[in-house]
Amino acid sequence: MARSPRRKTPPSPPVSLAPVSHLEALRARVPAWALVLVVALGVRLAYLLTARGPAFDAPLIDADYYDYLGERLARGEGFDAGPFWQPPLYPLLLGGLYWVGGHSLWWPRLLQALLGALTAALACGVARRVSDRHEVGLIAGLLVALHGPLVFYDGELLATSLGTFLGTAALWLAVREAPRPGTALLCGACIGLGALAVAPLLLLVLPLAWALARGRPVRALLCGLACAAVVLCATSANRVRSGEWVLISANGGINLWLGNNADVDGAMALRPGAAWEALVNEPARYGFHTPAAQDGYFHRKALDWCRSQPLDCVGNLLWKARLLLVARELPRNEDLYVARAQSPVLSALTVRPGGFALPYALLWPLAAAGAVVLWRRWRAKEDMRAVLTVVGAALMLAAPSVLFFVTGRYRAPLAPALCVLAALGLQALLSRASSRGVPAGMALAVLALSVWPVQLAVDAVDFEAEQHYAVGGRYARLGNDAAAVEAWRRAVLRKPDYLEAGYNLGLALERLGRTDEAVRTYESLLRWYPREALLRERLVIVKGTARDGGP
């Protein structure tokens, strides 16, 4: 019997043995910037909900001054007389928030948590544009989202968060693929507004206006004009209010001198109190009484020193550039490593085993590797404008720390650009083709430099005692002498020879009618400062009042 022909079955479609990338599947559903935004906002809200401590409950020094100005503006009383002492945008923002929602520290902190999350999303976009890789954008955004110092400053009543957001927004606009005239105007406005929050951000106009031009100089011109128009609002207000020409604020001169003198290390360690007041009042002793004249006095003093000691001036700039690369945060009004104990979130994000302080112990080496990657792309003539824009922005954001002085909050606006470079460096180091050679060697060299110990005069400051001293000052300003006494007492218990804290403690005890305690406080301080005339004067007055049956 004949056999029927066997029917051929059609071939099966080829089956790929490569697993489906979970990252690709996630990216198809959720954009990288949205994921970064959620993570960053969640981290910041977790910090705000877990933070408890003296510095968090009572804004200190500059933060207290901003809060005071915000309250004045909310009541319609305006700024203090004269030109702006600090850039005016942040107090205006506080005033608007307090006017709408009442005086609560939660309003600015919630807004700044959102601004910090948007900053991370913008950094994600910048890295995606520069690298043309989604994963690099995601890494950069997450580095900003988990950047401990940025999380900390997003919770402080300082202009740092606002300035960092505006600077990063300007950079994001400048690297867009098809900028329009409106993009240039918006970028310039962001730079100008950023300068009205953190004045040195004005330097961003140089690289970003160039980046926007792309063969059409009118766009660079529009960026510069928009920036100038915003800044001139503050200049005009200063002229009308004081009759003096002050570009943005009158505190630039003293900050320039603090970072450019024969003893920069000692000047950076000057603390609130008698020494600081003597410095601030120095111009008046030489006949300079208006804010603009005093600002000019310190500018001339710093520049005269540089002209008379050019080698020392250059050495000083190099020393500050080295300090910029230090992994740990350098304190100014408060120490991050004292404040980190106020929240488990902040504590985890700012781990500091010895000199290896996160996040900069990782960011600086990775950013150095990323800079090498960009250098190679520049040599290969690949997208040179985007390369130079990111590097130029990073240099301009680093320049204020070198020109003035290095401290954590002044370094913060540099962090997003640094995270973009770090993401590029990490991608290169993980790449098989680039994991060896110059990027890795550069990263190791910068790592060694960033964690190498450096001793500074400011390291001798007891910032925990100073924290209580500043808290007492805020409570005294608010008329709560009982709370001020408790804060100043903690400062003195921490540091028994703390003259400013002990003297103010005695004055508050006098106001509360607790003369016996005031006498004991002054007598205790006299053991440390037997020649201090103010202590002896107060002691005589208090004892005399007690004999006469006063309160």
Per-residue pLDDT of the chain (551 residues; tens, 9 = 90+): 444 444 444 444 444 444 445 556 656 677 999 999 999 999 999 999 999 988 898 999 999 999 999 999 999 999 998 999 999 999 999 999 999 999 999 999 999 999 999 999 999 999 999 988 999 999 999 999 999 999 999 999 999 999 999 999 999 999 987 789 999 999 999 999 999 999 999 999 999 999 999 878 999 999 999 999 999 999 999 999 999 999 999 999 999 999 999 999 999 999 888 888 899 999 999 999 999 999 999 999 999 999 999 999 999 999 999 999 999 999 988 899 999 999 999 999 999 987 799 999 999 999 999 988 888 777 666 567 777 899 999 999 999 999 999 999 999 999 999 999 999 999 988 885 554 566 788 889 999 999 999 999 999 999 999 999 999 999 999 999 999 999 999 999 999 999 999 999 999 999 999 999 999 999 999 999 999 998 999 998 888 776 655 55
The residue behind tokens 């400013």 is: 500
pLDDT of res. 375:
80
Contacts 24+ apart (CB under 8 A), 482-488: 482/512, 484/508, 485/509, 485/512, 487/54, 487/58
pLDDT of res. 10:
46
pTM for the full predicted model: 0.91
pLDDT of res. 551:
54
CB atoms near residue 268 (< 10 Å): 21
pLDDT of res. 431:
80
pLDDT of res. 257:
95
Asked whether the beta carbons of 488 and 505 are under 8 A apart, the reply is yes
What residue spans define the domains of the chain?
Answer: 30-244+350-451, 462-547
pLDDT of res. 55:
83
In terms of Cα–Cα distance, which of 323, 363, 359 is closest to 340? Answer: 359
Q: DSSP alpha helices (H): ranges in 243-335? A: 252-258, 264-268, 274-280, 282-285, 291-308, 310-324
44-63 tens-digit pLDDT: 999 999 999 888 989 999 99
Sign of CA dihedral 416, 420, 421, 423: positive
pLDDT of res. 17:
42
CATH of region 462-547:
1.25.40.10
Tokens found for residue 121: 């999303």
Contacts of 502 (CB under 8 A, 6+ apart): 488, 492, 521, 522, 524, 525
Contacts of 369 (CB under 8 A, 6+ apart): 424, 425, 426, 428, 429, 439, 440, 442, 443
203-217 tens-digit pLDDT: 999 999 999 998 789
- CA separation for the pair 484, 474 (Å, rounded): 8
Backbone angles phi, psi at 377, to 5 degrees: -65, -35
